[in-house]
Structure 1
Amino acid sequence: MDETIYALSSGAPPAAIGVIRISGPRAGQALARLCGTLPVERSPRLRTLRDGAGEMLDRALVLWFPGPATATGEDLVELHCHGGRAVVAAVLATLGTIEGLREAEPGEFTRRAFTNGRIDLAEAEGLADLLSAETELQRRGALLAAGGELSRRIEGWRDRLLAFGAAIEAVIDFADEDDVASLPAGFGAELGALAAEIRRVAERPATERLRDGIRVVLAGPPNAGKSSLFNALLADDAAIVTAEAGTTRDVLERPVSIGGVPFVLVDTAGMREEGAGPIEALGIERARREVAAGQIVLWLGDPADRPEGAFLVRSKADLRPSGSSSGLEVSTVTGSGLEELIEWLVARAREVLPPVDRLAFNRRQRDLALAAVSAIEAVDGEGDLLLAAENIRSARRALDALVGRDSTEEMLDALFGRFCIGK
């Protein structure tokens, strides 16, 4: 944290503007080296940037933010340069010659913000999801955590636990006083309400489903039309389609946004019991594993062979008589049934995705929240109050871990490694 870091924080050049950030104790010195003097703090100024030999690098808008009231909690500089490759490269190269400066590692700016208390762990996780969001649902879902709404809810739960713990400690320490001889009326009911509130949030679908996308597995016998449907849903010729049985011999997957919902479409090898060679047999085994793990399975085959829970799709509807009583008839040649299938997929996915207008946990957060619930539910206000006080403390520690008050370096490394270098 005593080092000063720098990196390009905007998109890869060429671009209209290239934003370069500098953070750390030497940020102000670096800015003065580039443009001669420090500008008025927190006010954009147009300055000429020069290298160590005095050669002009660019005319840029510069901003100087003294810490600690900055995004990273330390001295911070932003250089809004022209976004050409040569300009950005020249400015970065000059920064690299300044003593005490080094290029930032992935996520290091955000990690410093966390370390310096500008954001907590729940906000950092939400920010990581927001940066990787590719659909509207992903964006809206990440905003609640990145904006601090989840952290505020957790802090409220923690404050209530502190009050419950204080009430128990008061009875333990001052049991001989008339006004604190017993726990307040309604103590157990209020504690139960808190546990129920935390459990309701924890039992919602995990945010990883929204971030990773719903896996839709297309399965069935050879030549059932799986690859054709896969291509039609992608609006791309990602899978090879031929009349030869067993053309698809491995699992092929592609992410796609349909109706603003993130999906991962999975094309699989045709399932058959006989006639498959060694390579195709491996593909069939992988297909079976995908069917078992798929969140949505579209079965393009005999209804009698349909896996449990799979949705029956009668493909190649242009080649067979219509009027079947089961499944959805689809033709990738005429396009019939595709719109209905897409509507069904979107509706089904929304049932298993976390609600974007309400708080939801990722798996790490859910496990900690449920640990807090278990500790709260173990509190017995009429039993051993020392044990009750320890259960309250255990619940509070679990909530602290939710927002990073008790975090391991390995977990932090994994999280901030998801960020780009300039973030």
Structure 2
Amino acid sequence: MDQLISASQDTIAAIATAVSPGQGGIAVIRVSGPAALETAQVLVRCPGNPSWDTHRIFYGHVVDASGEGRLDEVLVLLMRAPRSFTGEDVVEIHCHGGVIAVQQVLERVLAQSGVRRALPGEFSQRAVLNGRLDLTRAEAVSAMVSARSRRAAELAMSGMDGGIQVRINGLRERLLDQLTELEARVDFEEDLPLLDGEAVLRELAAVREELLALIADGERVQVLSQGLRLALVGRPNVGKSSLLNRLSRRERAIVTDLPGTTRDLLESEIVLEGVPVTLLDTAGIRSTKDAVELLGIARSEEAMASADLVLLIVDGHVGWTDADAELLERIPEHVPHLIVANKADLPAVVCPVPVDVHLSALDGRGEDQLVQAVLHRCGASEAAGVLLALNQRQRDLAATAACALARSHEAAAETLPWDFWTIDLREAIRALGEITGEELTDAVLDRVFSRFCIGK
């Protein structure tokens, strides 16, 4: 920890907003550390000689190294320690967006003495080290930035509001209460009333059940952050591209009456009832000698293997064919699938295999049923009532705690002394403390913040 705390005495800087050519009216450069204010005063010429009071916005121009040329017209927001995101002096320089302007300003900032480029997640890491955030709130900030749907953003906000910290701290405090009672008996059992071992076990079991419920909730909503990969497969001209266009609400794929039109893998990003979905429109799989089409078919099979769900599209007007049966056999056993009969706007033929959804990609009938079937088959519909969502790191630690509590029951079943009970109980308490940052180590910080974007 000493190395990390020492490193936090540096002044760091990075672009804190997304940057791309021709996009965004403004960009923000964040500077944090003891030289943040001095850097702003050197770089920015403000009219009227302002007093640089905290939590004020200043107007001016960033000047070049000569002090004469102007690089950009900016606003500067000053937040003195400790009333800032990191708990340090922070300056945010709001310059014009795009690429050139913001890069020129950042280069000037990094050229100042004592200022270096921030590492991924370093601003949030400093906020944790300086007591401005607990670890769960910092992770929730990252989840909010990367949220791909409204529902994912809502769950991230519940973490930013401290919901996860409060819940985990509450469970940890209950375990600490039991550990206190057990350790007192280890040292002073003759001077204290008898401890009700069954009551202790009931409390440990109750905490374990709550942890398992939190883990299950986190697994149910994992799809909200990771999204689903949905492969549309079928014979040529059964309507895969038409279905992709309907779900995407735009002409993403070329649709014609000619079989084999799609020769490559097309992707489209959509959101279905709060769940991010990547639609993979695959090439129609059939026997062919066309080299380009064969490449498309190979990619289609790769898409099936990597998908979370395969939609096998059949022509409900033509009916089930031997080619459809062959395609069904090609779907990997580990990948769930739905059989979807398209062209419900035309007279249907009885299908000898169970069809999950009848729809028309042309007029939209059956679309709602398809969406519900997809979400149900992937388990995404179960996430609707979840209020708090542990991420993978947090779930792993909660599982460690739950396993340790289960071992405490084993010690009790073997009628081992109280001090044996405390071994696994301490392990559970340590794991829960690692979730919130009560138990903070270099390894924990590296694992958490290495996944953050630069500037956060």
State the TM bucket, normalised to the shorter chain.
0.7 to 0.9
> Structure 2 residue aligned with 1:92, among 106, 114, 120?
106
Equivalent residue number for residue 187 of structure 1: 200
Native 8 Å contact 2:14 2:455 kept in 1: yes
Q: Does residue 430 of structure 2 align to residue 397 of structure 1?
A: yes
SS at match of 1:21: strand
Indicate yes or no: 2:48 matched with 1:19.
no
Q: Say if 1:364 and 1:212 are closer, same or farther in 2 by CA, change over 3 A.
A: same
Within the alignment, does 1:30 sit opposite 2:63 as a pair?
no
Matched, 1:268 2:282: yes
Aligned to 1:299: 312
Equivalent residue for 1:361? 390
For 2:31, the aligned partner's letter is I
Could you list the per-position Cα deviations for residues 293-335 of structure 1 after superposition, in whole angstroms to 9, with x for gaps in the alignment?
6444322233984578533321133444378795433233344
1:272-351 correspondence runs (5 A):
287=300, 290-291=303-304, 294-301=307-314, 302=320, 305=325, 310-321=337-348, 326-342=355-371, 344-345=373-374, 351=380
2:247 counterpart (223, 233, 240): 233
Corresponding residue for 1:4?
A: 11
Instruction: Tell me the amino acid that sits aligned with residue 6 of structure 1.
Output: A
**The one of 194, 197, 201 aligned to 2:210:** 197
Deviates further, 260-269 or 138-147: 260-269
Whole-Å separation in 2 of the counterparts to 1:281 and 1:62: 57
The whole-number CA distance in structure 2 between the counterparts of 1:266 and 1:190 is 49
Q: Counterpart amino acid of 1:238?
A: R
Distance 1:177-1:117 versus aligned 2 partners, 3 A rule = same
Give 5+ residue unaligned stretches, structure 2: 1-7, 315-319
Match for 2:37: what amino acid? G
Aligned-partner Cα distance in 2 for 1:146–1:78? 22
Aligned AA for 1:386?
A: D
Shift, 1:282, TM fit = 6.8
Structure 1 residue 278: deviation in Å?
Answer: 7.7
Aligned in 2, Cα 1:262/1:98: closer, same or farther, shift over 3 Å?
A: same
Describe how 1:154-193 pairs up with structure 2 within 5 A. Answer: 154-179=168-193, 181-183=194-196, 186-193=199-206
C-alpha distance in structure 2 between counterparts of 1:162 and 1:178, whole Å:
18
Match of 1:370 in 2: 399
Task: Answer yes or no: is the 8 Å Cα contact 1:205–1:352 preserved in 2.
Answer: no
Query: CA-to-partner distance for each residue in 1:92-118, whole Å, 9 max, x for gaps?
Result: 343233211123344332232233333
How far apart are residue 39 of structure 1 and its match? Answer: 1.4
Give the match for residue 317 of structure 2.
none
C-alpha separation in 1, matches of 2:358 and 2:195: 68
Matches within 5 A, 1:33-72: 33=42, 34=44, 39-46=52-59, 50=63, 53-55=66-68, 60-72=74-86
d(CA) in 2 for partners of 1:294 and 1:394?
38
Report the alpha carbon displacement of residue 353 of structure 1 after superposing the two structures with TM: 5.6
- Separation (CA, whole Å) in 1 of partners of 2:105 and 2:452: 22
1:255-289 deviation per Cα after TM superposition (whole angstroms, max 9, x unaligned): 212344311212234445x5577876676566456
Specify the code of the residue in structure 2 equivalent to 1:422.
G
Using the alignment, how far apart are the partners of 1:397 and 1:280 within structure 2? 56
The verdict on how the C-alpha distance between 1:229 and 1:83 changes in structure 2, with shifts beyond 3 A counting, is closer
Give the superposition deviation at 1:71.
1.0
Displacement of 1:164 in angstroms is 1.3
What is the CA–CA distance in structure 2 between the aligned matches of 1:252 and 1:15, rounded to whole Å? 28
Q: Report the more deviating stretch, 242-251 or 184-193.
A: 242-251
CA contact 2:215–2:390 (8 Å) conserved in 1: yes
- The equivalent of 1:111 in structure 2 is 125
Shift of 1:4: 1.0
Quickly say closer, same or farther: Cα 1:228–1:61, change in 2 above 3 A.
closer
For the 8 Å contact 1:246–1:270, the answer to whether it is kept is yes
Which runs of no fewer than 5 residues in structure 1 stay unpaired? none
**1:135 match:** 149
Q: Say if 1:14 and 1:246 are closer, same or farther in 2 by CA, change over 3 A.
A: closer
Q: Distance in 1 between matches of 2:239 and 2:452?
A: 39
CA distance in structure 2 between the partners assigned to 1:18 and 1:334 by the alignment: 43
Q: Distance in 2 between matches of 1:417 and 1:164?
A: 35
1:313 partner SS: strand
Count of residues paired in the alignment: 420
Q: Structure 1's 252 and 384: CA in aligned 2 closer, same or farther, altered over 3 A? A: farther
Q: Is the 8 A contact 1:31 1:37 kept in 2?
A: no
Contact 1:137–1:356 (CA<8 Å) still a contact in 2?
no
Residue 65 (structure 1) shift: 2.8
Q: Distance in 2 between matches of 1:71 and 1:54?
A: 30
Q: Which amino acid in the other structure matches residue 154 of structure 1?
A: I
Q: Structure 1 residue 376: deviation in Å?
A: 0.8
